[in-house]
Structure 1
């Protein structure tokens, strides 16, 4: 048999290149099709929508087309867990569950380590079973993702979604957390929600829940009453999206409490309202739709404390913006038995 000629080799290589290119193209098309299905739930049944809410002082209108035009990813995103915690709230317990849901970032491993050594521990305190859970979005940093995966295997206290961490995507963290609680943790009697730069005193937290009448009927925290809308800076919102000059009342993100009853109502509201690009304001609209009132208390120290004294940590549920070193120092002081300066006679 004669060896193949140069034109035959060229045609053979061209066919191989064409098959490779076609295979790659098909893979890309399939991926884009899957990705589009993830973002655009075209087959999902139409959900009821809320076009306006009032708190008795202001009327808040929702132009869904504006939300979709300015923040389409917030409206179209489907909650997809990368690290799931489906069994976290299972198992028998003599005490009601108090979930400590802590917003964190993949890069903040040192903060999470400090909180695990201090107040974010599984424990029974004041008649409640405390369970920490760190809420994370994704990152493009592969090393950080690997460290988070290792943390999850060791501690089992991380819940992570596939949206990218960003300021506006914190609202997705609120919406996806409500969906997760609805699907996997309806046994939680209460949820304390806060950031990973908080000091929390579990004893004061559980004492507060026990002594507050009808605690399950409210969202508890440091309540911002009709806060002024900012048109510049990090928290800027355009008039196209939000023409009013004041927001509804909301609990500052520096630490607040929701109940099992309230979480169910907030989840139902999240199915009807568009996602606002500021997480605390988004939760304010959900609370308004769910008809959940707020309860203000100064034991939620969202602006820090005037003087960094131990007594403030002894009397507060949460203090925002505390350094990790100070959290560990204060925790050791609070956990140490009181010194007895009396001398025996």
Structure 2
């Protein structure tokens, strides 16, 4: 099914309509950090990735009252990028760290960020899944590697319109371990935690011209990217939602989601904090390290369940 075609998935037995387009003033920009200047030419992005620039963020499953239910508690959203087919991953996460829980003054609430699949059976199961757990945002664009950038852009739009009261948002992949207690401890003990973006910082990474992360010289002629956080998992404060959303309405949408978020942060003049407890390339298999870790990327679901059991039973 082509990306531009109207998605005809029937969720809960109803065809959900398209929402009207929203005003976007996307344009070419030049962004500068302490080392380089980066040119993002809108016409080139429109030529190579037109759908990324024009998509209107249509939700098939929404959560308009998600943040209101927190009442007077400080909300810490655990947002997780997931594919419709990843039922076992989501099930494992719900049995471990992706559960609603109050820690100190924070209410931790999970929210899965999902796009569509051409497999109607998968989509029906996603609808049933949300009916039971009520923890899914579903957009009508198709899941793909490049469309992960749409999850960045559309989630920022959703936050801006529905959840600016959130104090912190963790955003990560569904193949990871998260320690909610460590996240809360981290933001409580880090100076100026609500002013900075937290994660594993990639400092001026070299642009790849081949294979999965390929970006053409026509689209992006520069040799380096600005600083960005590994997309596996990071934290950003809710106070920065308006600035990030404004940048997402103005900048061309880059086809690599973590690099795209880096450009948004640069445009919004936001500061990164690198922390080695975001293990984005795996970690030594020791339970005491898991107890201190904020995030561990690339962990199987069987391993996650075992770690979580050990996590509850063993002391360090």
Cα deviation digits, residues 152-176 of structure 1 (max 9, x gap): 0000000000000000000001000
How far did residue 49 of structure 1 move? 3.4
CA distance in 1, matches of 2:24, 2:248: 14
Instruction: Give the structure with the higher percent helix.
Output: 1
Cα deviation digits, residues 312-342 of structure 1 (max 9, x gap): 1011000001111111111112223759xxx
CA distance in 2, matches of 1:232, 1:39: 37
Query: Structure 1 length normalisation: TM-score?
Result: 0.84
Does the residue aligned with 1:188 lie in a helix, a strand or coil?
coil
Cα deviation digits, residues 22-67 of structure 1 (max 9, x gap): xxxxxxxxx8xxxxxx7995xx656263521101211111211111
Question: 1:312 pairs with 289, 296, 307, which one?
Answer: 289
- Contact (CA 8 Å) 2:52, 2:147: kept in 1 or not? yes
Relative to structure 1, the CA distance from residue 292 to residue 49 in structure 2 (aligned partners, 3 Å threshold; closer, same or farther) is same
What are the equivalent positions in structure 2 for 1:244-263 lying under 5 Å apart? 244-263=222-241
Aligned to 2:158: 180
Question: 1:127 pairs with 100, 105, 117, which one?
Answer: 105
Aligned to 1:146: 124
Structure 2 residue runs without a partner (length 5+): 1-5, 7-17
Aligned to 1:97: 75
CA distance in 2, matches of 1:121, 1:173: 21
CA distance in 2, matches of 1:294, 1:264: 17
Cα deviation digits, residues 160-209 of structure 1 (max 9, x gap): 00000000000001000000001111111000000000100111111000
Aligned to 1:291: 269
Question: 1:324 pairs with 280, 301, 305, which one?
Answer: 301
How far did residue 125 of structure 1 move? 1.3
Aligned to 1:335: 312
Does 2:176 correspond to 1:202? no
Aligned to 2:27: 49
Cα deviation digits, residues 222-241 of structure 1 (max 9, x gap): 00000010000100000000
CA distance in 2, matches of 1:243, 1:217: 32
Query: Structure 2 length normalisation: TM-score?
Result: 0.91
- Contact (CA 8 Å) 2:101, 2:109: kept in 1 or not? yes
Higher relative contact order (CA 8 A, sep 6+): 2
Does 2:60 correspond to 1:60? no
CA distance in 1, matches of 2:93, 2:108: 13
Does 2:226 correspond to 1:222? no
- Contact (CA 8 Å) 1:111, 1:324: kept in 2 or not? yes
Superposition CA RMSD, Å: 1.9
Aligned to 1:83: 61
CA distance in 2, matches of 1:245, 1:289: 19
CA distance in 2, matches of 1:98, 1:39: 28
Relative to structure 1, the CA distance from residue 93 to residue 55 in structure 2 (aligned partners, 3 Å threshold; closer, same or farther) is same
- Contact (CA 8 Å) 2:67, 2:165: kept in 1 or not? yes
Cα deviation digits, residues 107-142 of structure 1 (max 9, x gap): 001100000000000000132100000000001001
CA distance in 2, matches of 1:39, 1:263: 22
- Contact (CA 8 Å) 1:126, 1:207: kept in 2 or not? no
Count of residue pairs brought into register by the alignment: 301
Larger Rg: 1
- Contact (CA 8 Å) 1:52, 1:60: kept in 2 or not? yes
- Contact (CA 8 Å) 1:137, 1:163: kept in 2 or not? yes
Does the residue aligned with 1:91 lie in a helix, a strand or coil?
helix
Structure 1 residue runs without a partner (length 5+): 1-30, 32-37, 340-345
